[in-house]
C-alpha cells in the first residue's frame, strides 16, 4: 500500500556509508542483501514479526572488495549464492551457507573486466551471467567456470543496463547513442556483434531501467527522473519488440522496485506491480498493471506456471559443478506433480492414420481392444491419489503443518489454487478423451453394421 517515508519508522542501519544496492533473497522473504560505499556486503534477517526496532547488526558480513560495492545479485536457482561487483572491477561469488558471521574470502573471483561493471543479469537457470561495463562492452560469462563465453562491443550504443529475456536467448539493453539520446537495443545471445534492433527514445539524461516478465513476455522500461513507464511486448520473431503504450504521471520517480509474482492480486487480474519512490512527497506509491477483464474466475492465460520459492540446487551442489540443470537430467525435483501424457492421447488422432469410414480390419479390432484397456486405465487413474497430490516443500496435503503467519497462509492459499487448477485440467483432459473414444466407438459400430 501507499506509505509515507516516516523518519520514525524502524530501520536497517549497519553500513558506515551510503547504500548503493539492495536485493531480496528469492527463496526467503525475510532475508535482504545490501552493499555500500564502505566496500562491504551485508546480509540482514528480518524478524518474523517484522521490524519493531532498528536493526544494526547484520546476520553476515562479506569483506573482500577494496573499493565500494555497487551491485549485488542472488543466483536464481542455487540457494545461498550471492554475486557482488565493486569499483575494483571484480565480481566476487559468495557462499552464505556457512556458520561464520564474517566471511572474508569469496569462493571465486571473476576478473574479466577492465572497468566498472554497470549491470548484471542472469538467465533463467543461472548458467550464464550478462554484464554491462563502462568500457561499453556486453559480456556473457559462465559464472561457475569464470570464463567469458561471448563478448560484444558496438560503438553506436553505450550500454548502461543489460537484461536477459527469459529463455528467449535474447538480451535487452538500455544506454545512449552517439548523440547522447537515450536508446534501447535488442541482442541475439549467440551473436553480440550487432544488435537485432536499436531505437532512440528521447534526449533526457536519466538512466533507463528495464524490467521483464517472462510469463507474459512484457517488458517495462522505467526512466530515472521520469514520470512515465513504457510497455513493450517481446516476440521470438520480427519485429521482436512491439510498443504497446505507457503509463504517465506528473510525479517523477527517483527509484522503483517490483513485487514478486506470488504477491500479486490474482482476483483483480494484476500482472505486475511497481513501487515508485517519489522524493518530492516523501512517498512510496504502488503502480499496478491490470488486465481489464470482467470475469472473476482464474485467468489461466495470464497466470502460467511461474518461478517458485524453492531452490533447485544447494550452494555446495552448484559450487561442485552439478547436478546439471538440463531437462531430463533428473537433478531438479519439483514437488508439484504434473500429469503425464495418458496412453489414450496417442489414440486421439487415430482417425488421421486410418479411414474410419472404410471397412473394419483386424487392426481395427486390436485398436478397439487397446481403447478398452485405456478406458479401464482411465477409471483407475481418473484422479491423482493422495501420494501424487503433493504440494511444495515436500509435504503431503494431510501432513502439512497449519500456517502460523499471514505470509504462510497466503502461500498455502496460492499453492492450493494451483493444485485446484491442475486438477481441473486433468478432469477436462479426461472429458475430452472420453468424448473422442465415444465418437470413435460409434463410428466403429456404424462400420460394423455396414
Who's near 140: CB < 8 A, 6+ residues apart?
A: 128, 129, 130, 148, 149, 150, 151, 189, 192
Task: Report, as an integer, the average pLDDT of 112-132.
Answer: 94
Distance, CA of 39 to CA of 23 (rounded, Å):
16
Q: Give the domain CATH number at 43.
A: 2.40.128
Q: What is the percent of the chain with per-residue pLDDT over 90, rounded to a whole number?
A: 51
**CA distance readout (Å), 297 to 262, 294, 441:** 17, 9, 35
Residues 158 and 255 in one domain: yes
Asked whether residue 383 is domain-assigned, the answer is no
For residues 10 and 51, the answer to whether their CB atoms sit within 8 Å is: yes
Task: Compute the distance between CA of residue 324 and CA of residue 261 in angstroms, rounded to an integer.
Answer: 26
User: CA–CA separation, 380 vs 368, rounded Å?
Assistant: 19
| 431: in domain | no
Residues 174 and 306 reside in one and the same domain: yes
Quick check: 346 pLDDT over 60? no
Q: Judge whether 371 lies within some domain.
A: no
DSSP strands (E only) in 49-203: 60-63, 69-74, 81-86, 91-95, 102-103, 108-110, 117-122, 129-133, 137-142, 147-153, 158-164, 170-176, 182-188, 197-202
Q: Are residues 203 and 258 in the same domain?
A: yes
Residue 35 is assigned to a structural domain of this protein:
yes
Phi-psi region for residue 39, left (φ > 0), alpha (ψ -120 to 50) or beta?
A: left
In a domain, 228, yes or no: yes
Name which residue leads in pLDDT, 281 or 388. 281
Provide the pLDDT for residue 333: 39
Q: Average pLDDT over the chain, rounded to whole?
A: 81
Residue 220 sits in the same domain as residue 95: no
Lowest pLDDT segment from 29-33, 200-204, 208-212, 419-423: 419-423
Which contiguous run of DSSP H or E holds residue 436? helix 406-449
- Residue 240 Rama label (left phi>0; alpha psi -120 to 50; beta): left
State whether 82 and 213 are in the same domain.
no
User: What is the predicted pLDDT for the residue at 116?
Assistant: 95
Residue-level pLDDT at 329: 43
Residue 315: half-sphere exposure toward Cβ, Cα within 13 Å: 16
162 forms beta bridges with 173
**Which SS3 state, helix, strand or coil, does residue 19 take?**
strand
Burial class of 119 by CB neighbour count within 10 A (0 to 12, 13 to 18, 19+): buried
Look at strands 182-188 and 170-176 and give their pairing: antiparallel
Instruction: Give the model confidence (pLDDT) of 125-182 as tens digits.
Output: 999 999 999 999 999 999 999 999 999 888 889 999 999 998 899 999 999 998 889 9
pTM: 0.71
Would 257 be classed as within a structural domain? Answer: yes
Same domain, 283 and 136: yes
How many Cβ atoms are within 10 Å of 388's Cβ, its own excluded? 10
**Domain ranges, residue 271:** 115-319
Taking residues 21-38, what's their average pLDDT?
94
Q: Per-residue pLDDT averaged across 420-448, rounded?
A: 84
User: In terms of domains, do 81 and 129 share one?
Assistant: no
Residues 28-52, mean pLDDT to the nearest whole number: 91
pLDDT, tens digit, 9 for 90 and up, residues 315-339: 999 998 865 444 444 444 333 333 3
Q: What is the C-alpha separation between 234 and 216, in angstroms, rounded?
A: 9
Span 9-32, average pLDDT: 90
Q: Please tell me the predicted confidence (pLDDT) of residue 222.
A: 95
Calpha distance 52→30 (Å, rounded): 14
Q: Looking at the domain assignment, is residue 379 inside a domain?
A: no
- Comparing 117-121, 163-167, 423-427, which segment has the lowest mean pLDDT? 423-427
Query: For 349-365, how does the pLDDT look when each residue is reduced to its tens digit (9 = 90+)?
Result: 333 333 333 444 444 44
Whether 400 maps to a domain, the answer reads: no
Residue 443 near residue 356, CB atoms below 8 Å: yes
Write down which residue in 111, 126, 160 finishes a domain: 111
Higher pLDDT, 76 or 375: 76
- In angstroms, the CA 54 to CA 10 distance is 5
The number of domains in the chain is 2
Task: Tell me the CATH number at 167.
Answer: 2.130.10.10
Confidence of residue 4 (pLDDT cuts 50, 70, 90): low
Amino acid at each position: 500500500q501507499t506509505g509515507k517515508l516516516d523518519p520514525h519508522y524502524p530501520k536497517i542501519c549497519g553500513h558506515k556509508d551510503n547504500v548503493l544496492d539492495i536485493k531480496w533473497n528469492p527463496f526467503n522473504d525475510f532475508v535482504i542483501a545490501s552493499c555500500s560505499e564502505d566496500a562491504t556486503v551485508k546480509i540482514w534477517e528480518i524478524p518474523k514479526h517484522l521490524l519493531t526496532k532498528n536493526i544494526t547488526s547484520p546476520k553476515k558480513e562479506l569483506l573482500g572488495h577494496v573499493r565500494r560495492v555497487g551491485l549485488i545479485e542472488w543466483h536464481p536457482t542455487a540457494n545461498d549464492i550471492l554475486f557482488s561487483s565493486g569499483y575494483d572491477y571484480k565480481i566476487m561469488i559468495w557462499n552464505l551457507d556457512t556458520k561464520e558471521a564474517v566471511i572474508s574470502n569469496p569462493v571465486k573471483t571473476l576478473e574479466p573486466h577492465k572497468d566498472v561493471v554497470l549491470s548484471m543479469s542472469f538467465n533463467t537457470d543461472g548458467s550464464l551471467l550478462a554484464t554491462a561495463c563502462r568500457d561499453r562492452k556486453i559480456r556473457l560469462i559462465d559464472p561457475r567456470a569464470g570464463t567469458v563465453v561471448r563478448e560484444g562491443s558496438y560503438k553506436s550504443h553505450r550500454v548502461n543496463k543489460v537484461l536477459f529475456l527469459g529463455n528467449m536467448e535474447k538480451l535487452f539493453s538500455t544506454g545512449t547513442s552517439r548523440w547522447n539520446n537515450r536508446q534501447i537495443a535488442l541482442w541475439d545471445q549467440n551473436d553480440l556483434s550487432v544488435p537485432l534492433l536499436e531505437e532512440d527514445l528521447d534526449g533526457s539524461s536519466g538512466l533507463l531501467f528495464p524490467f521483464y516478465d517472462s510469463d507474459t513476455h512484457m517488458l517495462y522500461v522505467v526512466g530515472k527522473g521520469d514520470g512515465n513507464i513504457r510497455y513493450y511486448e517481446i516476440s521470438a520473431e520480427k519485429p521482436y519488440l512491439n510498443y504497446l503504450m505507457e503509463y504517465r504521471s506528473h510525479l517523477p520517480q527517483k527509484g522503483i522496485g517490483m513485487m514478486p509474482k506470488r504477491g500479486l492480486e490474482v482476483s483483480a487480474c494484476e500482472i505486475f506491480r511497481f513501487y515508485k519512490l517519489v522524493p518530492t512527497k516523501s512517498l512510496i506509491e504502488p503502480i499496478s498493471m491490470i488486465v481489464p477483464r470482467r470475469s472473476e474466475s482464474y485467468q489461466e492465460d495470464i497466470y502460467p506456471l511461474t518461478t517458485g520459492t524453492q531452490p533447485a540446487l544447494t550452494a555446495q551442489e552448484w559450487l561442485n559443478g552439478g547436478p546439471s540443470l538440463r531437462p531430463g537430467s533428473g537433478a531438479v525435483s519439483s514437488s508439484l506433480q504434473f500429469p503425464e501424457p495418458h496412453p489414450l492421447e496417442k489414440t486421439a488422432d487415430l482417425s488421421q492414420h486410418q479411414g474410419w469410414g472404410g471397412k473394419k480390419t483386424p487392426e481395427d479390432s486390436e485398436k478397439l481392444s487397446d481403447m478398452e484397456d485405456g478406458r479401464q486405465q482411465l477409471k483407475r487413474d481418473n484422479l491423482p491419489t493422495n501420494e501424487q497430490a503433493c504440494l511444495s516443500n515436500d509435504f503431503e496435503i494431510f501432513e502439512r503443518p497449519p500456517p502460523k503467519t499471514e505470509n504462510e497462509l497466503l502461500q498455502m492459499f496460492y499453492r492450493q489454487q494451483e493444485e485446484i487448477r491442475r486438477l481441473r485440467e486433468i478432469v477436462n483432459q479426461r472429458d475430452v478423451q472420453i468424448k473422442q473414444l465415444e465418437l470413435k466407438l460409434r463410428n466403429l459400430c456404424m462400420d460394423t453394421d455396414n
